Amino acid sequence: MIIGRVIGRAVSTRKDEKLLGTKLLLVEEVDPRGAGSGDMAVVADHLGAGPGDVVLVAQGSAARFTAQTKEQPVDALVVGIVDMIRFDGRSTFTSADGFGSNGKGPQP
């Protein structure tokens, strides 16, 4: 799994019929302090994540192990919306305050 920040949405009116009704998000990988890696992916979402949310993303065959994605051509899936990250003994992210709530990281 990776930690990512939702930075946008992908809209595709023509797609595999098994993806109909699946929301597609653009997610940038971030480190535990919130710094973006520049690596982005289109990620399927059934949890309701939105712009700015920090999410957990399963990739590869693990993305097809849920009831919603079992028969879908999905290789990246939001499997959690993050409430808090603790790293190196400190809280580096909370959903209420974002990254840098301790004054040491970038804000979303």
Q: pLDDT digits over 53-87, tens only?
A: 999 999 988 888 888 888 889 999 999 999 999 99
Domain assignment of residue 106, yes or no = no
> Residue 25's domain is classified under what CATH number?
2.40.50.220
Q: Which domain holds residue 40?
A: 2-96
The residue with tokens 């939702």 is 6
**pLDDT computed for residue 77 by the predictor:** 95
Is residue 86 included in any domain, yes or no? yes
Over residues 32-43, the pLDDT tens digits come to: 999 999 999 999
**41 occurs within a structural domain:** yes
For the whole model, what pTM was predicted?
A: 0.86
Q: Which long-range contacts (CB under 8 A, 24 or more apart) does 22-25 make?
A: 22/46, 22/68, 22/72, 22/74, 25/49, 25/55, 25/78
Q: 19: which 2 tokens?
A: 């993806």
CB 75 within 8 Å of CB 107: no
Whether 103 is covered by a domain: the verdict is no
Structure tokens at 51: 């712009």
